[in-house]
Structure formats: C-alpha cells, structure tokens
Chains A and B, each alone.
Chain A
Amino acid sequence: MANNTAKTYALALRNAGGDARKTWESLRETNQALATVPRLKQLLVGIGTRPAKVRKQEISKLFKGQPAQIQRLLDLLATDASVDQMPDILEGFTLLLRQEGFESVSIETARPLSSANISAILKSLNVDRRKILLEVVEEPSLIGGVRVTVGDRSYDMSIGGALDQLATNLEVRA
C-alpha cells in the first residue's frame, strides 16, 4: 500500500499533465531500471546534493528519453532523498489512473511476444485500448502460452499454469 508521501508525489505527477498512459509506462520503466541497476540508483541518490542545474543535466543524461515530468520527479526525489519511494509512487499513480477508468493489463509470456501477438491479445479484451496500462513480463516457468491479468480477473492459458492446476487437483484428491 502506497504511503501518504508517495501518494502526494503520484498526485503531483498526474497533475503535471501529459499523456497518462505514456507517463505510466515511463514511470514503470524508470522504476524497473532503478530496481535492476543498483549503480543507477546510487548515482541518482548522489546527485541529490548537487546544485539544481547540475542535477537536471545529470538526470537528463542518465534518464535520456524519459518524459520531462518523470525527470522532474526524479530530481525531486533525489533532492528529498526519497528515491526509495519510487515503487510506492508507481503504485499510487496506477491507483489514480484506475480511478479514472484505466485498466491494468499484465501479459506474462514464456517467450518474447511480437507486437502483433500483443495487439491480438489486447484486441480480444473487452477494454478501451486507449485506457490500458500494459505490462509485458517474460516468465519462462510458463513454458508455453500466456497468462493475462486484466484488473482483478486473470486468464491462465499457459502450460505451466495447467501443470500447476493439475498438481493442485492431484494434491486435493490425495
């Protein structure tokens, strides 16, 4: 559950404007990068004590390609020494968008999916495509097929899922 500080940052980010979906995607990417590359996080924390101009330049270099509002958020977090809030901020932002009618869609796949595959899956969903917060995750344990989660409903169409279900059924029977 996002704490109040994270909710505040999330709200500020939402109010900063821009395409909500793209902002969300950028926020997710940035969060993933900070989680998987410890050195990146260290650098960002280190930037916090620098002068404003230097901070902005460094952030722009490190997070090249990210929207302006994301870079501004990172600047704020570095200054406030609140870089650890990123996961909660993402959660809070996601919640805000859900309240606006956006739907979280997560596609877990055993192997990388092509755009056509992703598009076919999204097309089959009963959701406004403009309001989809999409996350595609590679999960080798699925072996084959995909597992799609839309909001609070989940469709497991993977081999791994079928084997897990079989294991559960056999345990219950035993």
Chain B
Amino acid sequence: MDILQQFGINGKLLIVQLINFAVLVFVIWKLVLPRLTKLMDERKRSIEEQLKAAEDARKEVEASKAAREREQDKAAAEATALLKDAKDQADRTRTELLNAAKKDADALRARTEEQLAVEREKLRAELRAEVASLTIETTRKVLSDVVKPTDQKKMVAEAAKYLKKQEKVRGK
C-alpha cells in the first residue's frame, strides 16, 4: 500500500473502481453485448444478404449480358450464313443464267449459220441454173446461125445410121 501511495494511487478507490468496472463489464457483458452482438450479426447478415443479392444480381446481369451477347453472336452468325447462302445462290443463278444464255446464243448462231449456208447454196443453185439457161440460149442462137445445109445433110445421115442401130436393138 505504501508503494501505491507513492505513485498517488488510492487503494480503496482503485478497488471500488475495479468493482465498478467489473459490474460495468458484467452488465455490458450480460445485457449490452448480446444485443450488440445480435445487432451486429443481424447487420452483418443483412449486409451479407445485400452483398449476396447484389452479387446475384450482378451475376444475373452478367448472365443476361452473356446470353444477349450469345444471342447477338448467333444472330450475327446466322445473318452471315444467310448472306453467304444468298450470295452463293446468286452466284449460282448468275452462272446458270449465263450458261443458258451462252447456250442459246450458240444454238442461235449455229441455226443462223445453217440457214445462211442453205440460202447460199440456194443462191448458188439459182445462179448456176441462170447461167446454164443463158449459156444454152446463147448456144441455140449461135448454132442457128452457124449450122449450114451441108451440116444438116451430115446430121440426117448420122441420124439414119443411129435409127437403124436403135431399131435393130429394139427388134431383138
């Protein structure tokens, strides 16, 4: 106790203060702390729930976002595929049409060439006939002037010989 007095500490007061402190601690321990702890737990739970909810919401949002992005990607892929199909189809159709047109053009050209060949041959034939006719007519006119009575006599003599031969053959 002398030591305590040297340091200015009242022993009795200290003991009473200690008893007060103990009583206070006891009261707090028994009455306040549980409630405080309960409150704190509740608050912690609440905060945790909120955090969880927020986390869930965030996850949901992210999931939605991901789903939306997947949908968008899928739609984009489908659109790309459709465009590609359409382009391929257009290319095929163009190729088919071009081939068909080329085939028609070739057929038309062949027919036209054939018709031209027929026309050419027809014209040639007509020309040949015309030339032949003119030649024969000219020959007739020339021979009419050229054939003399002596030629006629020779021809008649030859005709008689020919007739004799023919009648002989016929007679057989």
Contact = CB atoms under 8 A, between A and B. Distances in A.
Given A121-B156, A160-B140, A170-B132, A111 B149 contact: yes
B6 interface: no
Nearest to B145: A143
A144 B163 contact: no
Given A111-B149, A144-B155, A145-B156, A125 B163 contact: yes
Closest 10 CB pairs of A and B: A124-B164, A126-B167, A170-B132, A157-B159, A174-B129, A124-B163, A144-B147, A145-B155, A174-B125, A120-B160
A166 interface: yes
Given A125-B167, A143-B140, A155-B162, A120 B133 contact: no
A120 B160 CA distance: 6
Interface in B129-172: 129, 132-133, 136, 139-140, 143-144, 147, 149, 151-153, 155-164, 166-168, 170-171
Q: Which of B133, B149, B157, B163 has the most CB of A within 10 A?
A: B163
Q: Which of B151, B156, B162, B166 has the most CB of A within 10 A?
A: B156
A52 to B, nearest CB: 48
Given A111-B149, A117-B156, A144-B151, A157 B162 contact: yes
B126 interface: yes
B120 interface: no
Contact of A148 (B155, B159, B171): B159
Contacts of A120: 156-157, 160
B68 interface: no
Nearest to A113: B156
A146 interface: yes
B136 A166 contact: yes
Interface residues of A, number: 30
Nearest to B153: A117
A98 B133 CA distance: 40
Contact of B133 (A110, A155, A167, A173): A167
Contacts of B133: 167, 170
A124 B161 contact: yes
Contacts of A113: 156
7 contacts: A109-B156, A111-B149, A121-B159, A144-B155, A157-B155, A167-B132, A171-B132
B128 interface: yes
A117 B43 CA distance: 161
Contacts of A145: 152, 155-156, 158-159
A120 to B, nearest CB: 4
A163 B163 contact: no
A171 B129 CA distance: 6
Contacts of A123: 160, 164
Interface in A98-144: 109-111, 113, 117, 120-121, 123-126, 140, 143-144
